[in-house]
Amino acid sequence: MRFFVPIALLVAWFAATSTGAIKSYQLASPQAVLVELNDLASHGLLWTDLGASVERVAIGFALAALLAIILGSLVGASRTAEKLLDPTLQAVRSVPSLAWVPLLLLWLGIGETAKIALVAIGAFFPVYVALASAIRNVDRKLVEVARVLGVGGVPFIARVLLPAALPQLLVGLRIGLTQAWLFLVAAELLGASSGLGFLLTDGQQIARTDEILVAILAFAICGKLSESGMRLLERRLVGWTDTVVPG
Amino acid sequence: MNAIAIQGLVKRYGAHTIFDGLDLDVAHGERLAVLGASGCGKSTLLRCIAGLESSDGGEIDVAGEIGYVFQEPRLFGWLDVERNVAFAARNSAERARVPEVLALVGLTAARAKLPKHLSGGMAQRTALARALVRKPEVLLFDEPLAALDALTRLELRASLREILIQAGATAVWVTHDVDDALTLATRTIVLQRAPNFVRAVEPAVGIDVGARRALLAALGISA
């Protein structure tokens, strides 16, 4: 059942391109995409671009997650930190993140740093917001158990707050990773000499829809793989929860 | 020397006075039931003793360590039964006591289960085991049977009696259930709402036919 629509679309695509109803500069045929995929892969270009993109996402996401976990824990656990930091961070969050692009380009140029910074901006907020609210909303009743037992300070954070907040943190990380890919495309469209986004613009400039479709396919696979990886991690780490965490 | 000595306890919530000079002594090894209607300040008294609430006056002295069993089990969902119990252990000696305590509450076979797979009675037994690990001098119970179904309540009440007698600890048991008091306590007080605050009265009851009636009468229920 679930494969019916995709197969129907594929057949329609094949029919429309092979009968000449749609020209190849408008939409390449499925077989042309396969040939291009093979071509790019065998010349190693696909792996170079894929590697460049994955590296940017990995570094940007890791930086964002680290910063978001530190700031989210602080703001969630301490009223003072919340008053001090949260209003500012919420104000920054209300700016559509792509609006930072011109500033980033001016400050950091069009090199790797600007791209990684943009990816990090995109990934930061879902993680930060999820963790801060999860820690703030940890069951007061569990907090009292720790208090009665005299468990406080760092042991309290490590043994009670963080494990209790872990399910929402993982959801935040999953959404953050999706955002990271989204912002990577934006960053690479703005000017890059490598990466899957570069394949997109390159394909556009030389009117090669097969190249564009290969890049889109690669993005789809990367997105799906990272999402599945995060869900696997969730199942492994927070199988103890009574209910499936929404999101 | 008493296990718990409360002198002139004052507790207010805003303009509302709960206790206005409450005195209460609990002797070593005594099992005191604190009876009272809902909302009369039973839990507040217990929370003051445990230091979960600050008092507005008076003195509370507790000789030694406190173990606290709440109305709900309050287990850590990410830890299995054994690790929930071991959460209370501070050193290797207390960690070594975990199997012994698990056996005492009858959970040895269930030690690897996660809280989401426990029945209400088993979850409450786990909470009790967690409170027992440190061998506390004083055990505080805040209606630990109230959330259980009738059959489980009877069963757990019976085994709790055995466990408390074995542990030999001083216990304060807050409840609105007269049968809890009759089964578990060596002494019972009743918290009554006086016009402006709550006072403690001690009906002269032994374990006899009239006891139940006397306690109900002190609660203001004619039986």
Contacts of B88 (CB under 8 A, 6+ apart): A149, B94, B130, B131, B133, B134
Distance (Å, whole) CA A220 – CA A120: 20
What is the average pLDDT across B186-210? 69
Asked whether the beta carbons of A168 and A134 are under 8 A apart, the reply is: yes
- Does pLDDT of B191 surpass 90? no
Q: Which residues contact B109 (CB under 8 A, 6 or more apart)?
A: none
Average pLDDT over residues A92-104: 87
User: At B166, is the pLDDT very low, low, confident or very high (cuts 50, 70, 90)?
Assistant: confident
Is pLDDT at B150 greater than 80 in this prediction? yes
Q: Which of residues 68-107 of B touch A (CB under 8 A)?
A: 68, 70, 72, 74, 76-78, 87-88
Minimal CA–CA distance to B6: which of B23, B26, B29? B23
* Banded model confidence at residue B184, pLDDT cuts 50, 70, 90: confident
- Tens-digit pLDDT profile for residues B90-126: 999 999 999 999 999 999 999 999 999 999 999 999 9
Q: What is the mean pLDDT of residues B144-169?
A: 88
CA nearest neighbour of A223 among A169, A172, A182: A182
Which is nearest to B36 in space by CA: B173, B201, B219, B187? B219
Tell me the HSE value of A92 on the side-chain side, using a 13 A CA sphere: 13
| Token duo for residue A219 | 């993005």
Residue length of chain B: 223
- pTM of the predicted model, to two decimals? 0.80
Under DSSP, the state recorded for A193 is S
Chain B residues in contact with A238 (beta carbon < 8 A):
78
Range ranked top by mean pLDDT from A47-51, A189-193, B186-190, B218-222: A47-51
Residue B128 tokens read as: 């009790």
B115 and A145 within 8 Å at the Cβ level: the answer is no
What's the pLDDT at A111? Answer: 85
Label the pairing between strands B138-142 and B170-175. parallel
B60 DSSP assignment:
E
pLDDT(B137) > 50: yes
Residue that is written with structure tokens 């613009």 in the block: A201
**Chain-chain contact of A159 with B87 (C-beta, under 8 angstroms):** yes
- Cα–Cα distance measured from residue A204 to residue A197, given in angstroms and rounded to the nearest whole number: 11
For residue A169, the distance in angstroms to the closest alpha carbon of chain B comes to: 15
Q: Tell me the average pLDDT across A14-21.
A: 90
Asked if residue A246 has pLDDT above 50, the reply is no
A148, A160, A245: which to substitute to probe chain B, counting the most B Cβ within 10 Å? A148
| A16: pLDDT strictly greater than 50 | yes
Mean pLDDT (chain A) is 91
DSSP letter string over A44-91? Answer: THHHHHHHHHHHHHHHHHHHHHHHHHHHHHHHHH-HHHHHHHHHHHHH
| Separation of alpha carbons A63 and A56, rounded Å | 11
> According to the model, what pLDDT value does residue A247 have?
44
pLDDT bucket at A100, cuts 50 / 70 / 90: confident
Question: What gap in Å lies between CA B9 and CA B4, rounded to an integer?
Answer: 13
Rounded to the nearest angstrom, the minimum Cα separation between B169 and chain A is 17
Averaged pLDDT score across all residues of chain B: 88
Structure tokens at A52: 């460049």
Q: Partners of B192 in the beta sheet? A: B199
Question: On the CB side of A35, how many CA atoms lie within 13 Å of its CA?
Answer: 8
Percentage with pLDDT > 70 across chain A: 98
**Residues B104, B109, B115, B118, CA torsion sign:** negative
Residue A39 has pLDDT above 60, yes or no: yes
- Closest by CA to B171, choosing from B5, B23, B3, is B3
Given this model, what pLDDT does residue A245 score?
A: 46
**Residue B183: strand, helix, or coil:** helix
Closest CA to A187 of A196, A177, A176: A196
